[in-house]
Amino acid sequence: MYFVFRKSKPGVSEMNVSPLAGKPVAPSMLVDVPRLVTAYYSEIPDYTVPGERVSFGTSGHRGSPFDKTFNEHHILSVAQAVCLYRARQGINGPLFLGMDTHAVSTPAFVSVLEVLAANGAQVMIPERDEYTPTPVISHAILGYNRGRTAGLADGIVITPSHNPPDDGGIKYNPPSGGPAEPDVTGWIESKANEFLQNNLEGVERIPYEKALRADTTHRHDYLDAYVSDLGNVIDMDAIRGSGISLGVDPLGGAGVHYWQPIAERYGLNLKVVNETVDPTFRFMTVDWDRKIRMDPSSPYAMQSLIRLKDSFEIAFACDTDHDRHGIVTKSAGLLPPNHYLSVMIFYLFQHRPEWANGTAVGKTVVSSSMIDRVTAKIGRKLYEVPVGFKWFVEGLLDGSLGFGGEESAGASFLRRDGAVWTTDKDGIVPALLSAEITARMGRDPGEIYRELTRDLGDPVYDRIEAPATPEQKKALSRLSPEQVRSTELAGEKITAVLTKAPGNGSPIGGLKISAESGWFAARPSGTESIYKIYAESFKGEEHLRRIQEEAQAIVDGVLGAAGKN
């Protein structure tokens, strides 16, 4: 079996990491942008090939024009399907439309607007044609819908998140403002594939210039609406008053022109270390697998900012659509996502006095158990859900969740008064929160996490990825507790075998087994031909490896059986 070990804590061993990881991008690695855009328009996906159909994973449809998985036919089909879904649901308010800085995001934006305008949708596009972060779209939807029961708004974001430069992506956010639930994306996916199968028959479209001039197309100042509201979710006075030096690297993403207005409006001592927007992302350092990936949680992709860690009291970065964060501290360098999630929870629930006493902490089943221990320490309820930020939407919307976070560095939390901020991941506010924490606590988040480990234990966390066929992925997603014959995990009695999340009872699409000092979860990827094994130990790396070996044995048995069927 072929493994890839992903590093999540200094000292955890790694295999199959490219010798180019963390180094500047070589010219030979750069995407040919003219060729990529040409492929977007010229390559026609074949509906009879399953891999070339529209497929909504955990966050929209993604792919590359080169692979015939993200081409104009896909986007026209998805846009028309969204229009039909809106009509079916009676959603007739404005649709907030945004995009990131990937090379094919602009062509896809054009395609989407052509369809939306032809269908008579009221569309809000950026005031200055600037790029628009995912959380800004969520913020706009919620702001418009506040107090309304009819004429509700929704949105589309064109982004493949932190994926490589040749990728594109599109996702739909319903009136709740967050990622759409499976029944919604399933309907849109099915309808879009009907259009693909019928060579776009039924897709309405008008020329882009006409769509721009349509009386249904409106300009919206996304930047000012979002930036002017940040003081209601972050204590900007504390940051400004401390005078601490802040560094930010937008990684060439959609928030690149947001940071300077934030600094100016709130008087922050903040420096944008790189303002470059380049669809080849040639300014990045190479990720672990020799790919260019704008991942703020990767120590390889983040080398440029990590090297500057001693130049600022705190520094941070966001991915291409600014819905994920990466925090670089003087004390610990780049914080693993689980570490910072734990610190945010520990801090927020003690420094937001207007939040209701019953407000809970949201985490995914594959996030660190350190979060469980922190949550117990601060006397809050834990709400554990499957992978996917969509499971936090309802709780953030009604205020029953104060915080929702994923191990992949995605999070959002309530306003200071306990009202909803965004229901999609927001990379900007966790980044700014790291500055608030440093300003108010006199210690950076790395130091605070180290204090927590002295009290609650020091876990070691890791993730394994390996190839899997569609049949094997299906078998893994259908694992049942009855298939687990073991009574112990790495020498400890098994305390829980889960196929459904404790928080909401939804299937986790795999299996999680827990013992007193460790756990593992195995699940297939929603977007790639791989499966993942997440594991954690509070006893150290040797114990972690035992957990992984036993987890692998269980998974191998399931995959082996699937291969025989």
Which are the catalytic amino acids? 161
Classify burial at 189, counting beta carbons within 10 Å of its beta carbon; exposed 0-12, middle 13-18, buried 19 or more: buried
Pairing of strands 95-99, 154-158: parallel
Three-state DSSP state, 336: coil
Pairwise CA distance, residues 198 & 45, whole Å: 12
Classify burial at 487, counting beta carbons within 10 Å of its beta carbon; exposed 0-12, middle 13-18, buried 19 or more: exposed
Q: Taking Cα atoms as reference points, which of 322, 306, 428, 408 lies closest to residue 365?
A: 408
Pairwise CA distance, residues 171 & 138, whole Å: 12
Count, residues in the chain: 565
| Residue 456 structure tokens | 């609650």
Is residue 304 a contact partner of residue 285, using CB atoms and an 8 Å limit? Answer: yes
Q: For residue 384, which amino acid is it? A: E
Give the H or E element holding residue 379.
none
Pairwise CA distance, residues 452 & 443, whole Å: 13
Nearest 5°: the CA angle 291, 131, 304 is: 40
CB neighbour list of residue 149: distance below 8 Å, 6 or more residues apart: none
Residues 472, 475, 481, 485: is their CA dihedral positive or negative?
A: negative
Strand runs (DSSP E) across 457-491, as ranges? 460-467, 488-489
